[in-house]
Amino acid sequence: MTTDLHPLVGPLLPLLRRFAVGEYGIALGGAHAKGVADAESDLDLYVFAQAILPDDERSRLCRESTVNGAGVVSWSMPGPFLQAGTDFAIGPLRVECWLRNTDYIAGIIADCQAGIVKHDLVTWTVMGYFNHCTLSDLDKMLPVEDPYGILARWKGTVSSYPPRLQEAIVSRHLRAARFWPDNFHYISAVERGDLIYVAGIVQQVVDNLIQVVFALNRAYFPGEKKLDVTLEHLARTPERFAERVERLLWPGAPGDRAYLQAQRQELRALVQEVASLAGVA
């Protein structure tokens, strides 16, 4: 596997290998793998294994390694190992090492192929975490070391978008998006100028429409970061979809009754257009 994906990947490999217990695979993910890294991007590295060293042991190895990691923080979820992390800085660059249990990832892939959508409301991501985001990560990440063929198998599986996943996402999220535009509570909130309540409704509907549009394009939802750019590259969307979404969420206009009425009509139109794309009357 190539180690010239980032100048720090090679020097970090001896450390990352030691985090794993037994068979493992190491990959580069995030903005650097997607080719969209900027000056603010951190370095995301993934270690997949059946078992890992304890948090304090990983932190110790990091502090004692030749990379001289600073500000080391290691964490794990409670209970048996599913996911964990060891984060540190090398100079100005923040490195996030994500550790994932291989059986856990294989289970997520199987669920998505069966059309099972899971959504966890967690604080570290605005829209919550969808299990199919894992497939997006796997599809985009670049294997660095894969001596047991773990990553190669997974990437081969996720290279084709699961039809049942598409059906499940479109059904679930289109139904949720269509709930609000003609709902009495939304209409009355517009009339009274209830900005906070309306803003939450608009955000919720837009989030659901984005999920539907990604699924219709057989594209894995990558998470909410830099969505304005990603949406512009999807082929099958309502006209000026990204632009209209941005205007709905960040109008730059006074939130008076007239604006809220116009906003609701635009939101309603966008829901109808996405439904038409999905072949739903």
pLDDT tens sequence for the chain (281 residues): 444 557 778 889 999 999 999 999 999 998 888 777 777 788 999 999 999 999 999 999 998 887 777 899 999 999 999 999 999 998 888 999 999 999 999 999 999 999 999 999 888 788 889 999 999 999 999 999 999 999 999 999 999 999 999 999 999 999 999 999 999 999 999 999 999 999 999 999 999 999 999 999 999 999 888 888 889 999 999 999 999 999 999 888 788 899 999 999 999 999 999 999 999 98
Burial 97-126 (b: 16+ CB within 10 A, else e): bbbbbbeebeebbebbbebebeeeeeeeee
pLDDT at 65: 84
Which residue type is seen at 121? Answer: L
Q: Which long-range contacts (CB under 8 A, 24 or more apart) does 146-151 make?
A: 146/1, 146/25, 146/26, 146/27, 147/23, 147/24, 147/25, 148/23, 148/24, 148/25, 150/23, 150/24, 150/25, 150/48, 150/102, 151/25, 151/27, 151/48
Measured in residues, the chain has a length of 281
pLDDT digits (tens, 9 = 90+) for 220-271: 999 888 888 889 999 999 999 999 999 999 888 788 899 999 999 999 999 9
User: Where in the chain do CATH 3.30.460.10 domains reside?
Assistant: 9-158
Domain 9-158 architecture: 2-Layer Sandwich (3.30)
Of the candidates 233, 227, 178, 228, which has an alpha carbon nearest to the alpha carbon of residue 205?
178
User: Where in the chain do CATH 1.20.120 domains reside?
Assistant: 163-277
Spell out the residues 6+ positions from residue 118 whose beta carbon is closer than 8 angstroms to its own: 111, 130, 131
- CA quadruple 16, 20, 26, 32: dihedral sign: negative
Which parts of 79-231 are beta strand (E)? 83-90, 93-101, 119-120, 129-130, 142-145
Element (H, E) at 189: helix 184-192
What CATH number should be reported for the domain whose range is 163-277? 1.20.120
The Cα 234–Cα 214 span in angstroms is 8
Burial 68-81 (b: 16+ CB within 10 A, else e): ebeebebebeeeeb
The Cα 241–Cα 243 span in angstroms is 5
Element (H, E) at 155: helix 150-158
